[in-house]
Amino acid sequence: MAVVLAVACVLPFSACGKKKSGKSNGQDTPTVVKEDDPFFNAEIKELKLPIDPGRKLDTQYVSSCRFIGDVVLVEYNVNYDEEGDYDPDNVAESMAHGQAIYDLSGNLIHETKAGHWENTIAATIDKAGDLYFLVSVPNDHFEYTTRLRKVKDGKSEDVMDVPGSVSGSGMNTSVQILDDGNFAINLGSGITIYSKEGEKICTITDPGRIVSMNVYQVEGKSYILSRNSSFDEDADPQFKEVDLKTGKLGQGKSAPLMGHGASLTCIDNKLYAFKGSKVIRYDISSGSSETVFDWNDTDVDMWLVKGASCLPKNDNEYYAAFAERIDGFSSRACLVSLKRAEKNPNAGKTIITVGMPTLMAECSKCICSYNSDMTKKSRIKMIDYREQLILEGKDTDETTAEEYVRKEFLAGRVPDILVAFDSISGFKSDNLMVDLVPYIDSEGGLDRSLFYDNIFRAMEKNGKLFFAPLTFSVETLMVNDKFIPENAPWTYKGFLEAGRSVPDGVSFYPSKLKGRLLGDMLRTTKAEFLDYEKKTVHFDNDDFYTLLDIAKEFGLDKIPDEEQMKVTYLDDGTSISEGTFITPEDKFKEEILAVKESYVVSMLTYGMEKSFLKKHASYRGYPGKNGGGNAVMCITSMGITADSKNKDEAWNVIRSFYEKQAQIDLCAIYGLPMRKESFRATSENQMEELQASRKRMIEQADGNVDPSLDDFAPDIQPKDIDDVEKLILSIDRTFEGDGAIEDIVMEEAGGYFAGSRTKEDTAKNINNRGDILMKERG
């Protein structure tokens, strides 16, 4: 879900509307594209895998697609559709995995088929074009040996055995040929230098820290990148010069830009870092950096190339290699060639800057489509705030996009459009955002009858719409009608009484800590206690006292172990989840839970709950002061900032995202579209896909219908689409957040839950602190 995490951020918003200064990400940048602005023409080619032409392909999966030198290494797995009955003893015969090497024109120049159970864990290429593979080879007892293998003119020879073994994919391993021809090999615990003859020279480690996979050789010097090994501390990335004869490290040079998984490469004595949408040239000696390439200057979908392997040839020519998912089971390898145009073909267009908490797949695709349409009058430039935080050396765990954007407002550095900040109550102000109602109802606006207008209305605040919903989910509570009558009042007090009436042995609400449960209750009701116009809060009333009682009675001090998944974090930053746990769905199905949260984002998610609705369950929505109601949670929303110099052009951009195809594209992964005909088209397509999957699974099971099938391919019929639309039309409220107010509420409510203060004192403290906060904001 496109939800911005809320944090305490007490900033005086009185500065908004006054004269502002500071270098801008959007407002101080040029607002019109010039002829000499960089633009790169892109050509994308699929790298065809060496598939056996005499066999029928079932699936192909690209596990890695990256540059080694000036060629592309693709590691892949394929499964063939074999005729006849399934034979588990010969399953390996239907599988193949290997490596394929391609030149920069996309031509296959070498392929290696790996033996059964043999894993290629790293690869490189020397200046002569000879290939080297680091291979993990098992013996008859599945004891693995690591071996360096050279491929020259299509012939393979073993160079040496490397001490240490890696039985898996070798995610944290590397092999590198240094400038002097020696080898640098890392099996995950430090770099070891070997001579050309295979003799060990030295090992490079940094006690208490993790060293990079490779050695970086720049202007006659060799460096490694080192960071803290503890994830409880700051990463503190540092470049350290290394003596390749002894492994001795020099003094560290701080490199905060490298603290968030930057991919690095050395080309022509220059170090390049690939950070999200940008290629950055980095000077280790001075610590300075320069952005030399930005994916915003192309018509390539930025989401596709997120994390791509990049190869700078010069300032006017770049290449990128990446794996693109085809469906849930297959992917393909792609190569992008990028060459700078003599003149920017978008010259004269208005630049519309669009900021979002983090890069969003659906948005990226639609923005790419918009930019590729030469008839459009504007050119969209995306700003990924998470990436921006990283580029500025900030810790994304300590500073959220919400806090960052609040500061950008104060400095006058906001973009023309903000995406997915609709849940932040404090942003819904005339000082910060533009009311979109006049745009919607203007001659060049939207025909409300073509859209779910009740959602537009639910998103309004005092009759003003600061963020226009594009895609959304329905958020509601599902209730077991056996335990709670359908006509039970769904006010705060009615909800409390319903919880007190459930039978013994039945939990009322999913297992949540008391503070979390209180937060759930406030998600759709916060506006009842906050007055942003008068800058006051009102928590000292019976409604809030009832919410405190609900949280205290039905919330927990500790989540039971059997309802938690054990997660172990490894030194390399990955995690392993272990064990089984009981979900709210399990408890609801077993009829030991009366109420559960429900989210409808597609026909699949609705279908997974359809069995509950068929029996004795109903959607009741969240409780409210005057009764219950279903809520909208925006997945994608857009708003125009009050400081934008291009408000009308920004509206034209937003309006284009309400076109039928754009609405369908925005829901390609998940989400419900605002346009009614797009909802029908999307839902009918999902229904057909689910029906086909269900039919195939039943046939594979010889006609038997497994009950668990509803979790993967539910039986969706046209009436279900009608039912979901009715659910959409019942939405009458939305979720809102205010990080700083929420923190105050949770801190003060903790005392009531612990029994150290009364409800009245709790509310009084919240009011006092909340009023101060609201007045400080101005």
Over residues 590-594, mean pLDDT: 96
Amino acid identity for residue 346 in this structure: N
Q: Output the pLDDT for position 565.
A: 66
Kindly tell me the burial class for residue 192, based on how many C-beta atoms sit within 10 Å of its own C-beta (0-12, 13-18, 19 or more). buried
Q: Is the pLDDT of residue 24 over 60?
A: no
Q: Output the pLDDT for position 10.
A: 30
- Calculate Rg over the CA atoms of the chain: 29
Helix (H, G, I), strand (E, B) or coil at 94: helix
pLDDT tens-digit series, residues 72-127: 999 999 988 866 544 545 555 677 888 899 999 999 998 877 665 677 888 899 98
Q: Is the pLDDT of residue 275 over 80?
A: yes
Q: Output the pLDDT for position 21.
A: 37
Distance from C-alpha of 216 to C-alpha of 196, rounded to nearest angstrom: 19
Domains annotated on the chain, with CATH: 13-37+344-472+636-673 (3.40.190.10), 40-340 (2.120.10), 560-590 (no CATH)
Across 63-67, 164-168, 385-389, 459-463, least confident range: 164-168
Task: With CA atoms as reference, report the closest residue to 77 among 101, 102, 100, 56.
Answer: 100
pLDDT tens-digit series, residues 699-748: 888 888 887 888 889 999 999 999 999 999 999 999 887 888 999 999 99
**What percent helix, strand, coil does the chain show, rounded to 5?**
25, 30, 40
% of the chain beyond a pLDDT of 70: 90
pLDDT tens-digit series, residues 384-425: 999 988 888 777 777 788 888 988 888 888 999 999 999 888
Helix intervals (H) in 523-583:
542-554
Q: Are 656 and 380 in contact (CB under 8 A)?
A: no
Q: Output the pLDDT for position 403.
A: 85
Distance from C-alpha of 169 to C-alpha of 217, rounded to nearest angstrom: 27
Distance from C-alpha of 290 to C-alpha of 305, rounded to nearest angstrom: 20
Q: Is the pLDDT of residue 548 over 50?
A: yes
Distance from C-alpha of 450 to C-alpha of 295, rounded to nearest angstrom: 35
What is the chain's mean pLDDT, rounded?
A: 88
Q: Output the pLDDT for position 732.
A: 96
pLDDT tens-digit series, residues 133-160: 998 888 777 778 899 999 888 888 999 9
pLDDT tens-digit series, residues 158-185: 999 998 766 555 567 899 999 999 999 9
Which residues 6+ apart lie within 8 Å of 511 measured at CB? 556, 559, 560, 563, 584
| Packing angle of the helix pair 492-500, 542-554 (nearest 10 deg) | 30
Over residues 37-55, mean pLDDT: 95
Sign of CA dihedral 720, 721, 727, 733: positive
